[in-house]
Amino acid sequence: MGKWLDCFFVDLWLIKHYKMAKKKTSKNEFIKWFGPILDALRDLGGSAKPREIAQWIGDKHKLSEQILNARYEKSGVLRFHNQLAWGRQYLIWEDLLETSSHGVWTLSKKGWKAILNEETAHEIVSKWIKYFQDIKDGKTPDKIETKTRQIDEIEDEIDGGTLENIRPSLIDILQNISPTGFEHLCGRLLREYDFENIQISQRSHDGGIDGYATLKLNPFVNMSVYFQCKRYKDSVPTEKVQAFIGVMETNKRSVEKGIFITTGSFAKAAYDIEKNNIKLELIDGEKLVEMFEKVKLGVTPKTIYEPDIDFFEQYREMK
């Protein structure tokens, strides 16, 4: 065994992936999305954002709102999106997806041609479980199971299946800010995205509008905007979106755009309304977190190093 396997963090990483693969295989939670992920990417031109892939699979497989919007109780992470992320990791290991950055999932040349069903997806997972076990061939199964149980004792305290979730997530924090504080925070976020003249409405007189803003598109053109900010843990009732549109249309102040911001999620019906209304922009909890992270507002970037298995493979059995 090379010295790199003696490093605690590498060891922990391997055990965690071994454990998660084993756990997920037994529950058959994420393996069924391997094929649909590839299908979605082919249909979307070979590359797409995770949100686009999730939406494509949801529409194609007619997934219920309950499945699409279910979250892990403590972390607030969307369960379905987390399953897709695990699927992506295995597809990268299998060279079916490229290790592209900037939040874009990209098909490899091999991935364009691959057609996966659940049986072949199971074979891929089994192959990688065995691979991780082979890497640990200097340890006894008892030792592996002991360390796995130790990690289980930590991870059973949280939902979502990652050690990082012990700290409160950004979405947890946003959901526990006061309503007024959340409105002002959203105003601050809009400023980071070049909105100007931001006004937070008086709560008793806002008529369903939480704030106003202006976006300077160029030296000659400004866009006036209404925004609504709602802290939800679950899906926003579609009637709330419809009411927001109604207020925009009847308010004495004319605007070009209405932005509905939430820490929760939206139902498919709400997104259908958005598609048919050029004035409406929906920002759900996942997109909201991405916006905070992009401008580094209230968050500290953290670099996480994971071992490149292919790199170390050339040294593993060197004699």
* pLDDT score, position 202: 67
Q: pLDDT per residue over 5-28, tens digit each?
A: 444 444 555 555 555 555 544 456
pLDDT at 296 over 70: yes
Q: pLDDT per residue over 145-177, tens digit each?
A: 544 444 344 334 334 444 344 356 788 888 888
> Quick one: pLDDT band at residue 257, thresholds 50, 70, 90?
very high
DSSP states of 163-209: GGGGSPPHHHHHHTS-HHHHHHHHHHHHHHTTEEEEEEPPTTT-TT-
pLDDT at 301 over 60: yes
Domain boundary assignment for the chain: 3-167, 174-295
Q: Which fold has domain 174-295?
A: Trna Endonuclease; Chain: A, domain 1 (3.40.1350)
* pLDDT score, position 205: 52
Cα–Cα distance, 93 to 95 (Å, whole number):
5
Percentage of the chain beyond pLDDT 90 is: 29
Q: pLDDT per residue over 187-206, tens digit each?
A: 999 999 989 888 888 654 55
* pLDDT score, position 259: 95
